Amino acid sequence: MFRVRRRVRSSVFASVVIGFLFGLWGALLSAGTADAVGDNTLSSSNPAPSENVTVAPTQLQLVFSNPLANPNDVNQMGLSLVCDGNIVSLGAAQLGTDLKTVSAPLTQVPAAGACVVSWALPDGSSGAFSFTSSIAAATTSTVLPTGTTLPAPVTPGDGNPVVDKSPRVGGPLGLFRLLSYIFSATLVGGVILILFAWPEGVEYAVCRRFLRFVVILNIAALVLVAIYTTAQYTGKGVTASISPNTWRDLWDTLPGKALLFRVLISLFTIWAVWNPQHILDPGTQLMSVGIIAALAITYGFDRTGGRLPPLGYASGVLHMVAVSAWFGGLVLLARVVLIGPGDVDLVQAVRGFGRIATRAMPLAIVTGVVATYRFDGFSLVTSQHGRLVTLKILVVGFMAYATWVTRQFVLTRMQRVPALDERVAAHLRRAVGTEATAGVVVLALTSWMMATTPIHFYEAPRDNGPRYAFSEELKNDRFRVRFSVSPATTGQNQILIELFEPRRIQEFTVRMTPKAPGYDGYLIDVPLTRRGAALLGDAGNFTLAAPGEWSVEISGTTTTGDLEPLSSAFTLSDPAATTTSSLPPGVTSPSTAPPVAPVTTLAPVAETTTPPTQTTSPPATTG
């Protein structure tokens, strides 16, 4: 026992001694390292000490004389920039591969005046230096939601037009669009059921009241859709879009034209179905059915773009007709036919709907598959639109199963019954009501899908928008941009940059360089990450001082690599020179702004303000 305890005490003592020696060695090593790095100093920087900066820098860059002891020290270092007494926001600092270079991006343009950069490393090293900022006031760049009507381009004497920001109307617009789908489909499907399976329905007062009620609600829903679509499309606001005169802006696109025609046709549906006898009367049948068919046809043009556009329009029309025959017949059965027991004509209506549904269901599914291929391909989980399509497919599958079960019930239980009794009517009403509820979910998903952008969606640029003094579309296999300037004279200008391809972009820059010596150029970081438009100088206050030719180079980067750059050139005229040439001899005009020092490092022209992005296509097909 004594020997065991002695060996234990010896082991403990040895462990303590070894631990003490290792600790002492580590402390000496740390002290040596701290001394070595604690004297770290700057070898260079950008901006450099005492430099006069005329163009906003995109980042601070500090190069130390010794490597940082620990790469994680860059996350704990203190780095600040104060210009003219105001703190300038900096992004997260990054350490270069040489372990000496620390870079921190500027997230805002520094104010003009004296600037002080202060830094401190965790090892105790610290320092500061100053430079002078001679940067002019920033010009704001505004990201415009897709489809927003652009303000009139700046022209001499116009003043400073202001961009109207699009109001947030996505929620109400989606709701009213859903209601218009429900009422339009119910109206079209109800007429189809009466025309092919239940002509006796026009004699029922409850059927006439129901159709009149649906017509009025459909008109109200479509008018609200037109108002809110105009507000979203033009940015004028809901109150300013109430007047039908403002709806003329929707005429610029095919979906807008379809919506305007739909509102107009909905007014004629009052005559077509207010007296349902017009549907069956040989003298009025053609016009009445034609009005209802025209209402359905307009829904085939609610989504432009995609692959195979002509096929898309045809399948869109057929899809709306099939969905309406299926869903509208369900609603008419649930709310009119099956509200109680009845004679043999009600039995015939139920049987007739079964025949119509078994034909409409496959057509709706096939045309839905065509729409899915055109806009999403096989990308059903990589985008929000694709995921909504997947969910819609599941709900449609449930509806198809319910239709099959109801059809089997009708074939087995109602094949030879002379009338519709209370028990069978209640049973069918529950089944049809469940199926109609699923149909409402499908239409709600369709409305939601119209607020998202499919993978293969492409919206052609509007050719009848504001006219710029210079506007050119530049493109190659993967990159397509339109660059516009107005009034393209020295002084205050407005620049519009529109991205059409690719669908998403990471780095997007436009370099503008004047040929005239002694003038500044610009490197504009375009604040776009997907298709859209960025307006620089939305109040016409983007200053271009150098007359003559300017070169334009547009670059971009995607997840697959750099895009092939686009290049162009435009000429900036000088109104003062024209005025001077027209003056009498010996008379001179006031001098224009003097040239400034040439640019060596270009930078973003301004910080970015980005309003919320939302889908602004006019209402969509029920596909």
Full domain range(s) for residue 57: 42-133
Distance CA 107, CA 607 (A): 8
Distance CA 86, CA 81 (A): 8
pLDDT tens, residue by residue, 186-238? 999 999 999 999 999 999 999 999 999 999 999 999 999 999 998 887 777 78
Which of 383, 415, 449 corresponds to the end of one domain?
A: 449
Instruction: List the 78-83 sheet strands across, edge first.
Output: 52-53, 126-133, 113-120, 78-83, 86-87
pTM, two decimals, is: 0.55
Number of domains in the chain: 3
Distances (CA, A) of 515 to 56, 471, 490, 553: 21, 19, 14, 13
Cis amide leading into 57 (omega within 30): no
pLDDT of residue 457: 64
Query: b/e map of 294-317 (b: 16 or more CB within 10 Å)?
Result: bbbbbbbbbbbbbeeeeebbebbb
Distances (CA, A) of 564 to 329, 500, 555, 558: 55, 15, 7, 11
Q: 328 by DSSP, 3-state: which?
A: helix
174 and 280 fall within a common domain: yes
308 and 398 fall within a common domain: yes
CATH number at residue 592: 2.60.40.10
Name which residue leads in pLDDT, 183 or 20.
183
pLDDT of residue 477: 87
101 and 194 fall within a common domain: no
Distance CA 269, CA 498 (A): 41
* CA atoms within a 13 Å half-sphere pointing along the CA-CB vector of 272: 24
Name which residue leads in pLDDT, 27 or 609.
27
Distance CA 530, CA 458 (A): 12
| Extended strands (E) in 11-55 | 42-46, 52-53
Name which residue leads in pLDDT, 9 or 394.
394
Give one word for 235, left, alpha or beta, with left for phi > 0 and alpha for psi -120 to 50. Answer: left
431 and 320 fall within a common domain: yes
Which of 449, 477, 508 corresponds to the end of one domain?
A: 449
The mean pLDDT value of the chain amounts to: 78
Distance CA 250, CA 246 (A): 8
Which among 163, 158, 353, 188 is positioned nearest to 265, based on CA atoms?
Answer: 188
196 and 149 fall within a common domain: no
For residue 262, tell me if it sits in a domain. yes
Q: 505 by DSSP, 3-state: which?
A: coil
pLDDT tens, residue by residue, 463-495? 445 578 898 999 998 899 999 998 888 888 888
For residue 358, tell me if it sits in a domain. yes
Distance CA 504, CA 434 (A): 41
307 and 328 fall within a common domain: yes
Cβ-based neighbours of 267, under 8 Å, separated by 6 or more: 219
Name which residue leads in pLDDT, 343 or 185.
185
pLDDT tens, residue by residue, 269-305? 999 999 999 999 999 999 999 999 999 999 999 877 6
Using a pLDDT cut of 90, give the percent of the chain over it: 31
128 and 181 fall within a common domain: no
pLDDT of residue 538: 59
Which of 104, 133, 162 corresponds to the end of one domain?
A: 133
pLDDT tens, residue by residue, 154-180? 544 333 333 334 456 778 999 999 999
For residue 458, tell me if it sits in a domain. no
For residue 322, tell me if it sits in a domain. yes
470 and 441 fall within a common domain: no
For residue 23, tell me if it sits in a domain. no
Residue 565: pLDDT over 80: yes
Q: How confident is the model at residue 22 (pLDDT cuts 50, 70, 90)?
A: very low
404 and 355 fall within a common domain: yes
CB 89 within 8 A of CB 119: no
pLDDT of residue 68: 84
For residue 456, tell me if it sits in a domain. no
For residue 332, tell me if it sits in a domain. yes
128 and 265 fall within a common domain: no
CATH number at residue 91: 2.60.40.1220
CB 509 within 8 A of CB 526: yes
148 and 208 fall within a common domain: no
CB 528 within 8 A of CB 143: yes
For residue 37, tell me if it sits in a domain. no
pLDDT of residue 466: 58
482 and 440 fall within a common domain: no
